[in-house]
Amino acid sequence: MLLASAVVVWEWLNEHGRWRPYSPAVSHHIEAVARAGPRAGGSVVLGQADSRLAPYIIDLQSMHQFRQDTGTIRPVRRSYYDPSSAPGKGVVWEWENDSGTWTPYDMDVGITIQRAYEKQHPWVDLSAIGFCYVIDFATMGQINRQTQRKRRVRRRLDMVYPLVSGTLPKSQSWPASPGAAAAPPVPACTCPQCLLVMSVKAAAGGPGTSTLQPRKAAPAPPAAPRPALPAAGPKAPDGVAAARGSLKPLAAQGGRRQAASTPALSSAGASGSPPGVGSGKGTRPSLGTLNRSHLQRLAIAQSRVLIASGVPTVPVKNLTGSSPVNPALAGITGILMSAAGLPVCLTRPPKLVLHPPPVSKSEIQSIPGISHSCRKTTKKQAKKGKTPEEVLKKYLQKVRHPPDEDCTICMERLSAPSGYKGPQPAVKPDLVGKLVKCSHAFHLHCLVAMYNNGNKDGSLQCPTCKTIYGVKTGTQPPGKMEYHIIPHALPGHADCKTIRIIYNIPPGVQGPEHPNPGKSFTARGFPRHCYLPDSEKGRKVLKLLLVAWDRRLIFAIGTSSTTGESDTVIWNEIHHKTEFGSNLTGHGYPDINYLDNVLAELAAQGITEESLAQEKD
């Protein structure tokens, strides 16, 4: 049993394994339907609470969110929090992303921030819950402890999340606990989506107010590990990749009646709905027992409702081979079943293809124009300047009359002394300098502190526009990079072979340039296999990746955004394709923009074609 009184927050699982909260208004709507029990139909149309979520339906029986226009299915859960915490007071903490909009923190992070705020602490260090950020309440800023980058944060008031009292079960299943307060009857909604739902139920289960037969509740999804906070804007619930393991369990529920090449359109517990109330007739067949002719007539009739109401249709993909069910009919049937609250598998679950077929040593070829087939890195650092002041002197001009603007490092006016509160550099806090290329001005005090907190490799990166001065290097731990050609083509690149890159980094002990010197670090998932097309542009990308490897910029040590593990080897903002024959995770092919995107990411690290000439010199 949980607390006798709690607030309920409904959450969905994104593609990074993080539970993201629905807004208070949407949570109230979901909770109202959940408390109404099976008589409410077991389906929640989120567009009724937030028009931006119009494509989404939640099936409370399987605890999954279904997006009608893409077929994406994600787990949802019902979480309980103390009424005295942030969600119980309607307090929402948000951070400003790169597009200038505001993103709510995960619920546990927001609760931690609010707790420190209420105790009137000047700041709160989030490292205790796995994040390398500090929230400064005086400046209302979020500071990255590794990069010193600042973002604005804000605290706003919203609706209080729904309150429940009495006996609260640990289960997140539906219907809601009988001990919970009974909700008043929900009036019939007249929106097009609900009209469609009711018309489907009437057609499938008989006249009157028939209800769906409850199935066994799906087990609650496991708690996701806590990942690092995002560095860019959030991803909405409409991500293109379905949550891990969400499709197969749904497709496996209940009986399945399909030919070898027929797409799975199965429903759990398809034993027929009860007869309508007051109806003297026998039970009518459910959607799961209708034959093709009945299903086709129903689909044609309901398609008119769909077109008239503007409910989006579901694109049907991956339907290969012959089938007695027309793809369009399969798609429309999927919508009808989802509207009726039944779990749907619209297509065959695509197969994840991480690696190519086996390749013998004799089939592996070296890459023309690139010497050797392996690179190693050691702990040796790039050449450093004698002192931070000497390094900055090469890139700065002193400003005698500071402009009337903020220093973007400490957020104090340039006309006032630096507001940096850490270890004090040997520079006067009121001196101001301007970077020679981009002309952005900062306190010299702040720039020296930023340099001392970085890699101290003789380079400097403007915190405002990211212009790089000097040669930027990273903190990648020692390892090996192999590269060669294999005789297989990537999806979307049938006209060429494939470049395979194999990264291998062993676990070890962190050095002085790492977050926790002297502490051991892990290296999960190595060796990591990555793939490029063996085209002219693909070879260009490989050459630049070799420069990035030599400069120790491919990997870093930090907190994993997928597992939440700290002190582990992570990717360092240069995306790689790790799926050979599919693109289920977004890290595969086909992707027509990938090569251009990775070239832009390399350029952001100071690696361009000019870097190749510098390396030769």
232 pLDDT higher than 50:
no
Q: How far apart are CA 123 and CA 136, in angstroms?
A: 4
Intervals of CATH 3.30.390.130 along the chain? 473-614
How much is the pLDDT for 281? Answer: 39
CATH 3.30.720.50-classified regions of the chain: 4-163
Distance CA 14, CA 527 (A): 26
Which of 65-74, 276-285, 389-398 has the lowest average pLDDT?
276-285
User: What is the fold of 4-163?
Assistant: 3.30.720
pTM (predicted TM-score):
0.49
| Helix and strand totals (H; E) in the chain | 12, 26
Confidence of residue 616 (pLDDT cuts 50, 70, 90): low
Average pLDDT rounded to a whole number, residues 277-292: 42
- Of 530, 521, 566, 526, which is closest to residue 548 (Cα–Cα)? 530
Task: Say if domain 473-614 classifies as CATH 3.30.390.130.
Answer: yes
Please choose, from the candidates 382, 338, 343, the residue with its C-alpha nearest in 3D space to the C-alpha of residue 248: 343
pLDDT digits 0-9 by tens, 375-396: 988 765 545 556 888 888 889 9
- pLDDT, residue 577, reads 95
Distance CA 6, CA 205 (A): 37
Whether the pLDDT of residue 42 is over 80: the answer is no
Q: Residues near 93 by Cβ (< 8 Å), separated by ≥ 6?
A: 86, 104, 105, 109, 110, 113, 114, 153, 154, 155
Q: What percent of the chain has pLDDT over 70?
A: 67
Domain with CATH 3.30.40.10 in the chain: 388-465
DSSP character string of 220-250: PPPPPP--PPPSSPPPPTT-SSPPTTSHHHH
Assign domain 388-465 to a CATH class. alpha beta
Give the chain's end-to-end CA distance (angstroms, integer).
Answer: 69
Q: Which range among 49-63, 215-229, 293-307 shows the weakest confidence by mean pLDDT? A: 215-229
Give a three-class secondary structure readout of 402-414. Answer: CCCCECCCCCCEC
In angstroms, the CA 144 to CA 559 distance is 12
| pLDDT tens per residue across span 410-430 | 889 999 998 887 777 778 888
Whether the CB-CB separation of 562 and 508 falls below 8 Å is answered with: no
Q: pLDDT category, 346, cuts 50, 70, 90?
A: very low
Task: For residue 158, give the DSSP letter.
Answer: -
pLDDT of residue 353: 86
In tens, the pLDDT along 474-505 reads 999 999 999 999 999 999 999 999 999 999 99
pLDDT mean across residues, the chain: 75
Up-side HSE of residue 465: CA atoms within 13 Å toward CB?
11
Give the integer Cα–Cα distance in Å for 508 and 522.
Answer: 7
pLDDT of residue 334: 59
Average pLDDT score over residue span 160-171? 71
Give the burial class of 471: count Cβ atoms within 10 A of its Cβ; 0-12 exposed, 13-18 middle, 19 or more buried.
middle
Angle at 481 between CA 475 and CA 484, to 5 degrees: 155
H or E element: which one contains 461?
Answer: strand 460-461
Q: Which two tokens stand for residue 328?
A: 């369009």
Is residue 152 very low, low, confident or very high in pLDDT (cuts 50, 70, 90)?
very high
Non-local CB neighbours of 307 within 8 Å, separated by 6+ positions:
none
Tokens describing residue 207: 């006249």
Amino acid at 346: L
Q: Tell me the two tokens of residue 365.
A: 């070829």
pLDDT digits (tens, 9 = 90+) for 499-558: 999 999 999 999 988 989 999 999 998 999 999 999 999 999 999 999 999 999 999 999
pLDDT of residue 190: 54
- Residue 611 phi/psi, 5-degree rounding, is -65, -35
H or E element, residue 239: none
Beta bridge partners of 468: 461
Measured in whole angstroms, the distance separating CA 522 from the mean position of its chain's CA atoms is: 23
The more confidently predicted of residues 243 and 547 is 547
Nearest to 560 by CA among 133, 135, 16, 96: 16
> Do 445 and 427 meet the contact criterion of CB atoms below 8 Å apart?
yes
Q: Is the pLDDT of residue 593 over 70?
A: yes
Confidence of residue 252 (pLDDT cuts 50, 70, 90): very low
Q: Length of the chain in residues, anyone?
A: 617
Helical H runs in 154-222? 192-205
